[in-house]
Amino acid sequence: MKFDSTEEWKSKIKRVLISEDELRTEMKKAGAYINSVYDGSPILLVSILKGAFVFMADLCREVTVPCEIEFMAAKSYFEGTVSTGHVEITMDLKHDISKYHVIIVEDIIDTGRTLNEIKKILGVRNPLSLRIMTLLDKPDRRVVELKADYSLFTIPDYFVIGYGLDYGEFYRNLPYIAEFSE
């Protein structure tokens, strides 16, 4: 995808769904949740790249108990706005997670296929516990049985951009979450 101007790029932002202030407020709550559940426990926050990197950065700054971070990369969209159903793990963990309480930090749960695959992969590595924290949950799109342990926002079936979420690798830099106009 290429844009001829910033105006053309902006024209695809249909409307803001979740503001910067709303994101900050919920981030503080999510950090407080982690702090209350895992005080003194060995925590490993695993961000799913690329979409969850902004969420992970803000979330880990709200965590006041000792934690480590790791990254995995997976994709199922391949340049479109609809999940293909095929999940490809493009970067795996190097960490032995068996001595950690692992929290998968995901940007959005849509069909659930990608996260379900990641959960299976990490589950067989015997973490002390395995939980899912997602920024956005779209339960109307779910095609596999999967539920987050903690969701910051539940949204309708919109294709969303911003705050790490993209369309064709663009829009990740928006400081809010918006509906994308195709």
Catalytic residues: 110
Nearest to 72 by CA among 99, 96, 95, 90: 90
Contact 141, 88 (CB under 8 A): no
Token pair recorded at residue 57:
């950065």
The DSSP 8-state label assigned to residue 173 in this structure reads T
Kind plus residue range of the DSSP H or E element containing 79? none
The DSSP 8-state label assigned to residue 49 in this structure reads E
Nearest to 45 by CA among 145, 55, 121: 55
Positive or negative: CA dihedral 28, 30, 31, 32 = positive
Question: Whose structure tokens read 């395995």?
Answer: 130
